Amino acid sequence: MRLPLPRLKPALAAVLALAALALPLTAAAAPRTSATLAMTLEPPGLDPTAGAASAISEVVLYNVFETLTKIRSDGTVGPLLAQSWTSTPDAKTWSFRLTPGVSFHNGEPFNAETVRFSLERAGAQGSVNKDRAVFANIVHIRATDPLTVVLTLRNPDPDLLFKLGQGTAIMVEPKSVATNATQPVGTGPYRLERWNRGASLVLARWDGHRNARNVALQRVSFRFISEAAAQVAALLAGDVDAFPRVAAARSLAQFQRNPKFQVLIGGSRTKVILAMNNQRKPLDDVRVRRAIAKAIDRQAVIDGAADGFGVPIGSYYVRGMPGFVDLTAVNAFDPAGAQALLREAGVALPLQLTIKLPPTPYARAGGEIVAAQLAKVGITAKLENIEWAQWLSGVYGQKAYDLTLIAHVEPLDFGNFARPGYYWNYSSPAFNELWGRINATADAKLRAELLGQAQRLVAEDAVHAYLYQPTWITVADARLQGLWKDMPILANDLSALRWK
């Protein structure tokens, strides 16, 4: 029988009273062990070596799969599956000492032979890895012992450590490669728990990870919300705890005024371009491409499609990258000059073109603005909304398009201009020669000079209308710590997240 508190001895009553007070305080102080993040696009699969979509790495990089190195939010590179490394002065021979005691989710060990398998697979003839050229540059992989691997490169690569931290360089377990797109097996601190296609995906902490005790969140859910208004509504309702790269610029003030939220505004190395199919008539005429570029007011596109959160670019290169040259004056906004170039090219007006728009808010909004600007110089641009699956199939996208408005998020993808058969169908012996010289030197000064020349070449060739470098916005619960502010690559490092 429970006695009323007043009939107990004073000392015992005091102890029980304190205990009663302590119980709810202890419960309230217990940190949360789960979180919900949101993304604009759902990944088409979960293997970043088999698909080009950036949404794949946003889910799995550093979480499910790991790489030899790890790119930090400030763009520097640190250790991950490799704990240390050395290189020769010519940047052609690299030796990596691997982290000991690492295993895959299926129990198989990670070692130098795994590195050999993963890198040879990525660079093999017929590989679908979008960065195959990076790995094809490795001419020899030698495992000197189970935890040491030496890479010999054909051409020097001063950026190799950064490239080995990207999603295309994940270490894979040989027996799992065929099913990694749907049942990923990595060495990371999380495993796939379930994937509800079209709605959400859940990762659960893997207690077999070597650093599991320092991973605060036991479970992380991803929700996929493409419409800007729905993104804002989900944050305000508390349905999601964080939305990296959210399309909430127009609602930013209400989040900034609300102490329940934190707003992070940071830089990127992304390039938003109006890509052109350089082999399609009349886009095979540089005068027509220059006319299109001159018809576009970049700042108006930034203001309308990104609500002012971006910086104009004049080439396929952004501020903060080695050897950057500001080329916004090349093919600058000049509607009269655009019309003169179209007349010079003998183009009958109105010129009919189609702009295929992927399912992202910046593309759909930007397409409307670009079409309106092109109309003023005599170009009628029909807008066609497509899904990524249509684009990747080639039937409606990469093999059959005039223009598309798209963001390239990879920071070190300038070599795409020398890539045969790439979707913009640009072929330039002059660029190929320059790119070969860039890849043949490890001298930082000469490399920067050559990169400047290459930037100017693709600007003057108007391979695309280069639009802007986005400024990314992240809105999150104020208590969630560890989110990236600046984003040199698109990744969500879940192991760094924890609740206050």
Kindly report, residue by residue over 405-455, the tens digit of the pLDDT: 999 999 999 999 999 989 999 999 999 999 999 999 999 999 999 999 999
Of 125, 147, 173, the position where a domain reaches its end is 173
Geometric angle at alpha carbon 246, from 180 and 355, rounded to 5°? 80
pLDDT attached to residue 389:
76
Residues in contact with 116: Cβ distance below 8 Å, sequence separation at least 6, in sequence order? 141, 143, 149
Asked whether residue 106 falls in the same domain as residue 95, the answer is: yes
Say if residue 344 is in the same domain as residue 456: yes
Assess if residue 228 is contained within a domain.
yes
440-495 confidence digits (pLDDT tens): 999 999 999 999 999 999 999 999 999 999 999 999 999 999 999 999 999 999 99
In this model, does residue 316 exceed pLDDT 90?
A: yes
Structure confidence at residue 399 (pLDDT):
66
Q: Provide the phi-psi class of 323: left if phi over 0, else alpha when psi is between -120 and 50, else beta.
A: left
Enumerate the β-bridge partners of residue 404.
Answer: 275, 356
pLDDT (0 to 100) of residue 390: 78
Whether 214 and 343 share a structural domain:
no
Tens-digit pLDDT profile for residues 173-228: 999 999 999 999 999 999 999 999 999 999 999 999 999 999 999 999 999 999 99
From 127, 145, 173, give the residue that closes a domain: 173
Give the domain extent around 168: 77-173
Residues 409 and 488 in one domain: no
How crowded is residue 152: how many other Cβ atoms within 10 Å of its Cβ?
Answer: 14
Q: How far is CA 388 from the centre of its chain?
A: 16
Residue 118 domain flag? yes
Name the band, by pLDDT with cuts 50, 70 and 90, for residue 29. Answer: low
- The verdict on 359 and 482 lying in the same domain is no
334 & 452 share domain: yes
How many domains does the chain divide into?
3
15: confidence class by pLDDT, cuts 50, 70, 90:
very low
Domain-ending residue, one of 117, 142, 173: 173
Residue matched to tokens 């509607």: 335
- Asked if residue 409 and residue 493 are part of one domain, the reply reads no
Does residue 17 carry a pLDDT above 80? no
26 within a domain of the structure (yes/no): no
pLDDT tens digit string along 334-384?
999 999 999 999 999 999 999 999 988 899 999 999 999 999 999 999 999
Give the lowest-confidence range in 253-267, 284-298, 390-404. Answer: 390-404
Task: With respect to residue 277, please indicate whether it lies within any of the assigned structural domains.
Answer: yes
- Residue-wise pLDDT for 68-117, tens only, equals 999 999 999 999 999 999 999 999 999 999 999 999 999 999 999 999 99
Residue type, 115: V
Percent helix, percent strand, percent coil in the chain, to nearest 5:
35, 25, 45
DSSP 108: P
Tally Cβ neighbours within 10 Å of residue 410: 21
Q: What is the pLDDT of residue 397?
A: 56
Cβ contact 314:331 at 8 Å = yes
| Same-domain status, 309 and 420 | yes
Per-residue pLDDT reduced to its tens digit, 120-138:
999 999 999 999 999 999 9
* CATH code at position 202: 3.40.190.10
- Is 40 part of a structural domain of the chain? no
Going from the C-alpha of 308 to that of each of 127, 303, 362, 473, the distances in angstroms are 39, 4, 12, 12
In a domain, 44, yes or no: no
Residues 380 and 291 grouped into a single domain = yes
CATH of the domain at 127: 3.90.76.10
305 and 379 together in one domain: yes
Same structural domain, 161 and 207 = no
Q: What would the pLDDT profile of 31-72 be if each residue is shown by its tens digit?
A: 899 999 999 999 999 999 998 899 999 999 999 999 999 999
Kindly state whether residue 36 falls inside one of the protein's structural domains. Answer: no
On average, the pLDDT of the chain sits at: 92
| Tokens, residue 293 | 């570029």
Whether 462 maps to a domain, the answer reads yes
Report strand pairing: 351-357 vs 379-385.
parallel
Q: Is the pLDDT of residue 12 over 70?
A: no
Question: What band does 394 get if pLDDT is binned at 50, 70 and 90?
Answer: low
Proportion of the chain above pLDDT 70, given as a percent: 93
Q: What is the pLDDT of residue 1?
A: 38
275 & 390 share domain: yes
